[in-house]
Chains A and B, each alone.
Chain A
Amino acid sequence: MLSFQLLSTVRLGIKSLLLHKLRSGLTMLGIIFGVCSVIAMLAIGEGASYEAQEAIKKLGSNNILVRSLKPPEASRQQGGGGGPGPRGLSLKYGLTYADAARLQQTIPGVKYVVPMRIIRENVRFGRNEVPCQVIGTLPVYTEVTQVDVLRGRFLTDLDELYKNNVCVITAGLARRLFPTEDPMQHSVKIDAFYYRVVGIIQETGKAEQRTQTGPMEGQPLDNNVYIPLSTSRTRFGEVLIRRLAGSIEAEEVQLHQVTVQMEDTAAVQTADPQIRTLLKHFHDQNDYELIVPLELLRQAEATKRRFNIVLGSIAAISLLVGGIGIMNIMLANVTERTREIGVRRALGAKRRDITLQFLVETVVLSVGGGLVGVAVGMLTPVVVSVATDMKTIVTLWSVLVAFGISGAVGIIFGLYPARAAALLDPIEALRHE
């Protein structure tokens, strides 16, 4: 019986709202925009932070990355003179083999230390030439970075021991360098030497690709060639010469990056300051940087939380504005329908019947707006994704929250007008023109 009454009240509410279609529609717009913006904004925010977190996770949450950095003072010296760089004098900076060994020996909880030399060179096969990162590293590289070996094998200890001229290339490079041939049966030429292709891998981690700047900019990110570290030392030497727009830049860098993998995330936190102290002791200039993915992840999460609070506030304000719009219209509605209220009271409606009638009307308005808002709000991120290539994620909770709030807005902002309607004196209301 009660549900039947409620149902007929809802039907009556819809009927009354349909009497003023334009007015009801405009009132709903406030809620529609509010709900839609909540869902869309949260979806975009969620998508952005998801991408950032995925990128950080790929660096490995158990890893600490130490990178060589050209000290700022040194680059000023070189560039400031205006003329060519100091000939015969190479700029020496960065991590050393000794650093790698010390990290391995002194820091507790270290699982692997993977040194890397990263050299930009063109890799050639026949007439194909592709600018690449030539990475000299150890076989344990596969332990700290997620690597799928598609064909053949990765580098081995024997390669390292005998300084073999072998290389492992990424799938993307294989496609570009060997459009028709089978890469496994050929050698590629890097600088002056040939390296036999022994494996093709798919990189899922992005540790090295982050360093692709300068001449590599704009290139596909998966042009990597892996060679044994010992081979890299002997073939390329310690002094790397780069020709840049007429000037020659010589720098001596032993290692470009050292990835330290810790036993677990707890060890990462204790090792972070230890590594800093250790490196500071042996480096008199600031020529390295520490990247702690775990820390980045924490920061990303904190940022996301702050972002959500800001979005939530904006959404709350827009829903508040929508709610005030609804309240305004409902108050006008009550005044306009004073006569009807009087008639209903005379015909036996109790105060709570009138309250319910107007409350239901407001809730129908706001929930209707909420439903449309949810639909539009779920569509908007799709459009944004297609138009801007941004990743968006519509979470269930954002839809539920937005919809729930729209209902709550209806009740909160409908209560006062409904109460005002119910408290009208039936005699006065009947006399109202």
Chain B
Amino acid sequence: MNSVASPPAPHPPPAAPPPGAGDGRPIIGLQAIHKIYALGEEAQVHALRGVDLAITAGSYLAIMGPSGSGKSTLLNLLGCLDRPTAGRYFLGGEDVSQMSDDQLSEVRGRRIGFIFQSYNLIPQLSVLENIQVPLLYQGLDLRAYEDRCVELARLVGLGDRLHHRPNQLSGGQQQRVAIARSLVNDPLMILADEPTGNLDSKTGAEVLDLIDRLNHQGKTIVLVTHDDRVASRAHRVIHMRDGLIDREVLNRPAPGRAASAHA
């Protein structure tokens, strides 16, 4: 449970964030993002109305907002699960806003780690195999990365449960498997959608501690939550309202800025 930087990455990590040191460069940039859903002939829902957002490497961002505020839409766009109707989205220097479905799959597989509210482990696979899933779709030989996956399982404290099935694990354990899975492709950013929503406060705190630790080791975290206490762990909290960023709260400086402030 000590170090996250040691396991070998499945592919050369993108040049932007060297592990363990946020340098303050934005790795994610949203420019005037609009998202309009057509609900039939005339009716349209303007879910995002021109969102601008920059996220620096190594930062910890929480997104809050009431339902219908565009929070989920923003999350889907950030996760490359959807394309904006207008605007541009740069992820690690690449414009992903107009990519094809296959290209987006590729980007998700290489650059983004997902943590879901309901864990979303695949029931017929063991812990180890669940951690391997993102590698599978990059055409990698899983045997070469087995050590890395075992290491990640150990990191989240499940080194002794490698061959258990998800239904043999508690909720907290399942979520920790999901966290290990989100790390396996050494992503640019980890997207967590209400990661503690299904957990009691004690296990939730443990999971959040784990996420904190990942951030300390240089991982960029974007977290969506309803819970103020969860959001308080982030460096920066943005509140969404009616498809726009309503206000932004800085809890504490991001590591990059902190470093520059000290210098």
User: Which of A's residues lie within 8 Å of B, judged by CB?
Assistant: 1-2, 4-5, 8, 12, 15-16, 18-19, 339-340, 342-353, 426-427, 430
Contact across chains for B110 and A348 when beta carbons are under 8 A apart: yes
Contact among A4, A12, A347 for B134, CB-based, below 8 A: A347
B102 beta carbon closer than 8 Å to chain A: yes
- Looking at A2, A342, A351, A427, the one whose CB has the most chain B CB atoms below 10 A away is A427
Structural contact, A348 and B106, CB atoms closer than 8 A: yes
B123 & A19 in contact (Cβ 8 Å cutoff): yes
Chain B nearest CB from A352 CB (Å) reads: 8
- For A427, list chain B residues within 8 Å (CB): 76, 81-82
**Cβ-defined contact, B141 with A343, below 8 A:** no
Chain B contacts with A in 124-139, Cβ cutoff 8 A: 124-125, 133-134, 136-139
Of B114-122, B145-153, B239-247, which binds chain A?
B114-122
CB distance from A182 to the nearest CB of B (A): 79
A16–B116 alpha-carbon span in the complex (Å): 22
- Contact present for A348 and B185 (CB under 8 Å): yes
C-alpha spacing A231/B123, complex, angstroms: 92
- Chain A residues lying within 8 Å of B139, measured Cβ to Cβ, are 1-2, 5
Contact call B137/A8, Cβ cutoff below 8 A: no
Contacts of A339 in B (CB 8 A): 120
Task: Please report which residues of chain B, range 69-128, place their CB below 8 angstroms from some CB of chain A when the two chains form the complex.
Answer: 76, 79, 81-82, 101-102, 105-106, 108-110, 114, 116, 120-125
> Contact: A350 with B76, CB < 8 Å?
no
Q: Which of chain A's residues have a CB closer than 8 A to the CB of B138?
A: 348
B124 touches A348 (CB 8 A): no
Which A residue's beta carbon lies closest to that of B182?
A347
Overall SS of chain A's interface: helix
Expressed in whole angstroms, the Cα–Cα distance for A21 and B181 within the complex equals 28
User: Once the chains bind, are A347 and B141 in contact (CB under 8 Å)?
Assistant: no
When the two chains form the complex, which single residue of B76, B82, B120 contacts A343, counting CB atoms closer than 8 Å? B120
Interface membership of B199, Cβ < 8 A: no
**In contact, B137 and A353 (Cβ under 8 angstroms):** yes
**B137 & A340 in contact (Cβ 8 Å cutoff):** no
Q: Is B114 within 8 A of A346, CB to CB? A: yes
Contacting residues, chain A, for B123 (C-beta < 8 A): 19, 340
Q: Which residue of A lies closest to B119 (CB)?
A: A343
Contact call B122/A350, Cβ cutoff below 8 A: no
A318 to chain B, nearest CB (A): 31
Given the complex, which residues of A lie within 8 Å of B133, measured CB to CB? 343-344, 347
Alpha-carbon gap, A89 to B211, bound state (A): 119
**Contact (A346, B108) CB under 8 Å given A4-B141, A8-B142, A426-B81:** yes
Instruction: Fill in one digit per residue for B170-188: 1 if any A CB lies within 8 Å of its CB, else 0.
Output: 0000000000010001000
**What distance in Å separates the Cβ of A347 from its nearest Cβ neighbour in chain B?**
5
